[in-house]
Chain A
Amino acid sequence: EDQVTQSPEALRLQEGESSSLNCSYTVSGLRGLFWYRQDPGKGPEFLFTLYSAGEEKEKERLKATLTKKESFLHITAPKPEDSATYLCAVLHTGFQKLVFGTGTRLLVSP
């Protein structure tokens, strides 16, 4: 069965303190790995799609990378508005469904 594990569960950073979130996955036939951001009281918002090992995507202070076993979401010089829960999910080749991890709650203090 497809499994997605995210770490750490929670992360507290000072503004400007760069760090990385991890998403480890076990899936037979990865179709894509997806990162989402979820703000409190709202639905998840799509950030990135990664399709193959070695691929990287960037958006403002965020950069997502992918290997054959895990993905990292690097946050460079974060700001308080980056505070949210970051979810990763995998799409299996044979199934049209996303399997989500449990998320990393990020809090960036000014």
Chain B
Amino acid sequence: DTAVSQTPKYLVTQMGNDKSIKCEQNLGHDTMYWYKQDSKKFLKIMFSYNNKELIINETVPNRFSPKSPDKAHLNLHINSLELGDSAVYFCASSPPGLAASGTQYFGPGTRLLVL
């Protein structure tokens, strides 16, 4: 009964490949997020979706494309992977409302290593 789940947990791939990360939440939340945490543990938002609609799109290369098939799922597809994409990617969700949007529930993370 995991609240926010991500697959895969680990991803090792070659430069230039395309890969996807999947996220699912069973909390009934409307808003979902993708974050990138670099080697210095800095956590930065990439995208946010509210009820399948993109609401936040930070300065992220367009090789990264999120997709939300329904409000419980948010996937991240990455084209032409580069060395600098190596990081931990976290999915999160939050209850409705602007004030509540800071109370986020994070998944376990996907550790991406690009060789």
Contact = CB atoms under 8 A, between A and B. Distances in A.
B45 A97 contact: yes
A89 B102 contact: yes
Mostly helix, strand, loop or mixed at chain A's interface? strand
B33 to A, nearest CB: 8
Given A95-B56, A96-B55, A96-B56, A42 B109 contact: yes
Q: How large is the interface on B (under 10, 10 to 19, 20 to 34, 35 or more residues)?
A: 20 to 34
Contact of A34 (B55, B102, B105, B107): B102
Given A96-B48, A96-B56, A102-B40, A31 B98 contact: yes
Interface stretch (A17-25, A43-51, A53-61): A43-51
B65 to A, nearest CB: 19
A44 B56 contact: no
A32 B56 CA distance: 18
A39 to B, nearest CB: 11
B98 A96 contact: yes
The residue among A42, A43, A45, A98 with the most chain B CB atoms within 10 A of its own CB is A43
28 contacts: A31-B102, A32-B99, A32-B102, A34-B102, A41-B108, A41-B109, A42-B108, A43-B90, A43-B92, A44-B104, A45-B106, A46-B103, A49-B102, A85-B41, A89-B102, A91-B98, A91-B99, A95-B56, A96-B50, A96-B55, A96-B101, A97-B33, A97-B48, A97-B56, A97-B101, A99-B45, A102-B40, A102-B42
Interface of B: 4, 31, 33, 40-45, 48, 50, 55-56, 58, 90, 92, 98-99, 101-109
